[in-house]
Copies of this chain bind each other. A is one copy, B any other.
Amino acid sequence: MKIDRFLQLFVVKEKKFYPLYIEQAVNIEAAAKLLVELLQERKPENQKTLYKKVKDYEHSGDLITARLYEELNKTFVTPFDREDINRLGSSMDTLLDFIHDAAKRVLMYRPKNVNQLMVAMAQCIVEDARILGQIMDELDQLQKRPQEINEKCVRIKQIEHDVDNLYEEFMSDVFANEKDAIELVKLKNIGQVLEDATDRAKDVSDIVRGIIIKFA
């Protein structure tokens, strides 16, 4: 029964869901790369252009999630599995929202100095996105090679742990050295959302790991 449900979901329905996840991962990686650029850009005009592009990706992401949700509501799948499909889509959308939020904060706050540790955290988000892209590409092979996918999920967990340490270092540095309270608030709020984004990437991989365990 369980295998049947699985086949229905991941083989027969493949054409519906997989390409949407893959498309979303591509979106996320593109937005994350722009965020890295934005953090290193000093000219307000260029910052605006970069932010606008991130916003476009975020909007595309909303549309992908809406399409996923509609597809889901048109198919007969059991509540439990459909829940995972939905959660996987939502979690990717949330990750993209956090990347967008980080970019928005750079525009809203215009911090005077961007700490190199912030750029390093944003680069970790790019790495998360790249690995998520690989996972989504292989999602139709979940049964054949769960170990490979699981290893990629472990890698995302490690990145989250690394960014926890980067964030601690960043915050300790900001609170020890930034004497302008307003600049401190700016940096703290941008750093926070960068760290949060890597937690959201881990949420995505946790959902994938849950699916792996169920169909092991």
Contacts and interface: CB of A to CB of B under 8 A. Distances in A.
A26 to B, nearest CB: 24
Interface string A164-207: 00001001100110111110111011000000000000000000
B69 A175 contact: no
Contacts of A109: 171, 175
Contacts of A213: 69-70, 73
- If over half of A's interface residues share one DSSP class (helix, strand or loop), that class is named, otherwise mixed; here it is helix
A130 B212 CA distance: 36
A185 B184 contact: yes
Stoichiometry, as copies per complex, reads 3
Nearest to A174: B108
Nearest to A82: B80
Nearest to A110: B175
A214 interface: yes
Contacts of A19: none
A104 B4 CA distance: 47
Contacts of A110: 175-176
Interface in A20-51: none
A182 B175 contact: yes
Contacts of A178: 182
